[in-house]
Amino acid sequence: MRDFRSAVKRRKLRFKRGIISDEFDGPFYCRRLPSVFGFIEIFWRGDNVNCSVISIRLPGAPPDAGLDITDESGVAIPSSLEILEKEIKGSFEGSFLHSPSINLLDLSRCHEFQRRVLVGTRSIPRGMTVSYGELAFALGFPGAARAMGTALARNPFPVVFPCHRVIRSSGDVGLFGGGSFMKEALLRREGVIFDGPMKVAANCRLKLDSRLS
C-alpha cells in the first residue's frame, strides 16, 4: 500500500511539474513556428490519420520537462496539423479573426473544472477582455476568481484557448505564460484599447450578466 501511495504521489508531482511523458504514449514530435516573439512549439503525436496535439509552448514559457522528442525528419506532417499551425500563427500576427480549431487537442491532461474554464474563454469576443471574477460568475462559480487564475495559468493550449483575454478586475493585464508584454501585444493585435501601460481601457472590459454555456 505504501508503494502504491508513493507511486501516486510521484505521478501527481510529475503532472504538476508538467512532465507529460507518463501521461501519453509516444513517440512525440515538436513543430517550431517562428513568430515576432520567438518560436512557438507545438508538441504532437500520431500520424496523418490520427493526430493529436498534447501541448503548445509559447516563447519564454518553461519547457515540458521530461518529454522525449523524436526527430520528425521523414515523418509526414498531418494536413490537419498544418492547418492548425496556420491558424495559430495567424492569431499571433492578428490576421486570423477566429479562434483556432480545438479538434486536434488532447484534453485528457485537463480535469473537468479546467476544461470548463478553458472552453469558457472561447466565448470572450475578439477585441474584448473579461476579469477572472466575471468569468467565474459566468461559468457558475461566483467568487472563484483565484481558481480561474490557477486553471488558466496551467493552460496547455494558449491562444487556442485565449486565456490572454482574461485580466484582473483593475484592468491590469496580469500574468501570462509568455510574459505580460506578450499578453498586451496579443490583445492589441486583436483590437483591445489600452489607456495606460498594461491597463485595458474600460470600454474593452466585458461585463458578463449571464451564464456561459
What are the residue numbers of the active site? 163
70-94: buried (b, 16+ CB within 10 Å) or exposed (e) per residue?
A: eeeeeeeebebbeebbebbbebbee
Say how many C-beta atoms besides its own lie within 10 A of residue 151's C-beta. 26
Q: Which three cell numbers stand for residue 105?
A: 487537442
Closest CA to 165 of 193, 124, 119: 124
Q: Which three cell numbers stand for residue 72?
A: 520528425
Distance, CA of 125 to CA of 190 (rounded, Å): 10
Closest CA to 197 of 187, 207, 206: 187
- Contact criterion met (CB below 8 Å) for 15 and 28: no
